Structure 1
Amino acid sequence: MQDQQENVSDVLMELNAIIETSTDNIVIADGAGRVLRVSSNCREIYGIEPEELYGKSSQELEEAGVFSPSVTLKVLETKVKEQVIQHTKTDKVVMATGYPVFDEQGRLARVVSYSHDMTEIMSLKKNFEELAEQVKRYESELEELREKETRIPGVVAESPQMKRVITMVQRVAKVDTTVLLLGESGVGKNVIAKAIHRKSARKSQPFIEVNCGAIPEGLLESELFGYTSGSFTGASKGGKPGIIELADKGTLFLDEIGEMPLALQAKLLKVIQEKQITPVGGTRPKKVDFRLIAATNQDLERMVKEGKFRKDLYFRLNVVPIEIAPLRERPQDILPLIRIFLEKFAEAYGLKKRLDESAVHLLLNYKWPGNVREVENVMERLVVTTDEEVISAAHLPETMRTEAEVAEVPIAVGSRKLKDILEEVERRVIMQAYEECRTTHEMAARLGISQPSVVRRLQKYRGREVDEQSE
């Protein structure tokens, strides 16, 4: 008997030690939900002394707001483990887990619950969620600012190709490195060049643009480098500063650099290397400080191999090449451009215009050989020449409608020979190129054949002589 009493005493001592040393608050209730034992740290969690809990029913304590809801009541109801988030009258958040204890007859005899103060954790969770929400707002605002920063007036960049161009513009604008813009005529190389200048440290200084293919070869040298008084017949008294000198402290944009004569290429290379110019007829060089941007629609690397462009100048220009894809390769940009130019010219001429579905369909499926410049010209033409407010496919230029017909109408084979079928295909291609290109030289470059071959085929399919100079 004494041994049994000692064993019971030991068990009670151990049980009490377990209850008191637990970091969780422990509550033991009987099968009716009345509190039998409770750990002393209940005062920290529930704000009540342990003695005030003894003998109280869980229902009574819940109604008094000591804790809500009661995990003991839930276990008594379900007879399985339960877990709840409790709120106490001391404004604490508590996670309570209750376990059922059954006697030998399988009756629910006890409910043991463990309560852990989650107030600090829940507060941290709430703060984290608020911070996360704030971060999302900041990210959204930053994204908006980033988009505003990366937008360039006059440039549509919905396509991946143009987004890469804009990213590169942002990078190179910050430094004075030489940039070479590559792309077909009309893709907007001059717009990109101006954007680089506007975003650079030289933005308050001059932006001087010159088209090397638009100035006669005999005048290009004096236009670029200037001349002194009396240097040649017809020279202005007192001389004239050249384009390069006018770009001092600013940006010099040489468009169509591939058209520059070889003799001038050597002189330009020297200017780039030494940053000084000597006017035509002059002997004393002048210091110049400019940022150089060049552009071309030609394959300079091929021209170097053919001896039509200086290799050393090519490497001087090709420091940071930026290639601008033709519009046909970035269809995501076509519709935004159409809308921008339609609104621009409708507002400029005080007219109200919109496109119907048929017109939009043809415009989106057109190849736009003239790129952005052609989009602008076509939209201006449609705005000023269409009487109706709604622009339909019937109002579009004949070349656009013809291209759609060529693409959509199949070639009838029947009993015709292959030679006749190929001839019809060639006729369609030649006549389409004729409608889209300004000269036979441009047609030859587009089709990859010689210019005399273009003239012969035009004579064949148009049925009259072709003036090689005017075509």
Structure 2
Amino acid sequence: MSETKKSWNENEAILHSLQDDILVTNTDGIILKVSEATGGIYNVKSEDMVGKSVYDLEREGIFTPILTPLVLKERKKITLVQTSKDGKKLLVTGIPVFHENGELVRIVSYSHDVTELLNMKKYLEDMEDQMERVKSELEILRSRHYYSEGIIATSDEMKRVLQIALQVAEVDVNVLLLGESGVGKSHIAKFIHNKSQRKGGPFIEVNCGAIPESLFEAEFFGYEPGSFTGADRKGKVGLAELAEGGTLFLDEIGELSQPNQVKILKFIQEKQFYRVGGTKQRKVDFRVLAATNRDLEMAVENREFRQDLFFRLNVVPITIPPLRERTSDIITMIDYFVGYFCEKYQRRRTLDGGVIHQLLIQDWKGNVRELMNLIERLIVTSSRQLIEMENLPGRYIKHSGDLSEFDREGQSLKDVLEAVEEQVLKKARQQYKTTTIMARNLGISQPSVVRKMKKYSIR
């Protein structure tokens, strides 16, 4: 008897000497034995746990989930992560103890506090996500060529655009940039970003019209490894995620399909998303700028564009006028592009007065982009230093009576521009009855016609 008691005491001593949480229950979940360390882990007294049911302790919130029913069901060793009342994360293992006749009679469990390990794991996952974003952002920047010219704003029209852009840059308000293709909407978007508090963050441009509809979700939100056939085995960070801390510029937003409009609206509203094939919700802090050359109000009326998305984007609309409505910018742009491309291609080229005149009277349906491309073409293809009329493509040569023989000797380019503009307006005034008809035929707005007529005292 004394030997049995001595042996029992030795077992108790061994049990309590362990630093780990050791807990023994019967098949009904009643706690029979605990180590002294157990109470400290669960923030209760160890002796108070003896005789209690693990089911009752779970209901009281002491720990969850419990292992007992799982071990009873599987009749084998089970390991899971348990959460204590004070938020600790415990890696708990339950082991079945069988009688010699094969009957399961006891369940022994032990645990390790892995709170710090799980926190470290989350930290490493977050760092891995951040590094992945930075890596993808660098790859995008390497694959794109950004033209680095400043915005040219000689005209009053463009000066007003820049003034509004400066005002909205100070606050994280959604901006919708409107205007024809090639007017410089993306440059205005970058201007707003660079003048905002987010200038230290990324500027991520998404051309909504260039991404195939079937690939849009994967490209925009990214995807997890193996989420679909042909996917990168490492997965991919989406463009939306790359905008963290910066500006997300949705160019050609009017080209989005209806299903993708719904996804973009939800993303802008909630600023959180799931990667394709993923279950982890991701949050992004960004500012939205959007641009389109479509009449979105008309698209809303025709049910081609969602009204709720339109109102979400159209908080501050900025309309960038076409090049034909800001002719005073053309001469400055000509000078700039000639200098830029001469330096780029190591050429010395100048434009003949007749060539300059022809450039001033064009419609420029492709706007700034068309003018820039033509100047680059002239610099590259001309064989002589002076670029003359014969170097111009045929469709850029217009005949306009006495204006085609305009003499600019001894005058600055600005004077030439204003003189040409004045003569064009005078001729239009003689030909058309109202300023509205003049505007339609000159390809500018009616207020611009009235303002320019006042400038040159044309009645």
How far apart are residue 284 of structure 1 and its match?
A: 2.8
Unmatched 5+ stretches in structure 2: 1-147, 403-459
Of 209, 214, 217, 2:213 maps to 217
Structure-1 separation of matches of 2:383 and 2:232: 50
How far apart are residue 261 of structure 1 and its match?
A: 0.9
Equivalent residue number for residue 263 of structure 2: 267
Q: CA RMSD in A?
A: 1.5
Give the structure with higher Rg (CA). Answer: 1
1:296-335 to 2 correspondence within 5 Å?
296-335=292-331
The SS at the match of 1:176 is coil
How far apart are residue 169 of structure 1 and its match?
A: 1.2
Deviations 1:88-112 (A, max 9, x none): xxxxxxxxxxxxxxxxxxxxxxxxx
Whether 1:399 aligns to 2:395 is yes
The SS at the match of 1:190 is helix
Structure-1 separation of matches of 2:298 and 2:280: 36
How far apart are residue 292 of structure 1 and its match?
A: 0.6
1:386-425 to 2 correspondence within 5 Å?
386-401=382-397, 404-405=398-399
The SS at the match of 1:286 is strand
How far apart are residue 187 of structure 1 and its match?
A: 0.5
1:19-168 to 2 correspondence within 5 Å?
153-168=149-164
Structure-2 separation of matches of 1:313 and 1:227: 24
Q: Which amino acid aligns with 1:292?
A: V
TM-score for the superposition, normalised by structure 1: 0.53
Unmatched 5+ stretches in structure 1: 1-151, 410-471
1:343-362 to 2 correspondence within 5 Å?
343-362=339-358
Structure-2 separation of matches of 1:181 and 1:213: 16
Equivalent residue number for residue 373 of structure 2: 377
Structure-1 separation of matches of 2:291 and 2:347: 36
TM-score for the superposition, normalised by structure 2: 0.54
How far apart are residue 283 of structure 1 and its match?
A: 2.7
Structure-1 separation of matches of 2:159 and 2:254: 26
Deviations 1:420-471 (A, max 9, x none): xxxxxxxxxxxxxxxxxxxxxxxxxxxxxxxxxxxxxxxxxxxxxxxxxxxx
How far apart are residue 154 of structure 1 and its match?
A: 2.0
Q: Which amino acid aligns with 1:211?
A: N
Count the aligned residue pairs.
255
How far apart are residue 269 of structure 1 and its match?
A: 0.6
Equivalent residue number for residue 236 of structure 1: 232
Q: Which amino acid aligns with 2:214?
A: G
Structure-2 separation of matches of 1:244 and 1:377: 31
Structure-2 separation of matches of 1:198 and 1:220: 27
Q: Which amino acid aligns with 1:194?
A: K
Structure-2 separation of matches of 1:155 and 1:396: 26
How far apart are residue 153 of structure 1 and its match?
A: 5.0
Q: Stretches of 4+ moved more than 3 A in 1?
A: none
Instruction: Work out the percentage of aligned pairs sharing the same amino acid.
Output: 56
Of 247, 250, 268, 1:251 maps to 247
Deviations 1:33-83 (A, max 9, x none): xxxxxxxxxxxxxxxxxxxxxxxxxxxxxxxxxxxxxxxxxxxxxxxxxxx
Structure-1 separation of matches of 2:227 and 2:261: 21
Of 178, 196, 199, 2:174 maps to 178
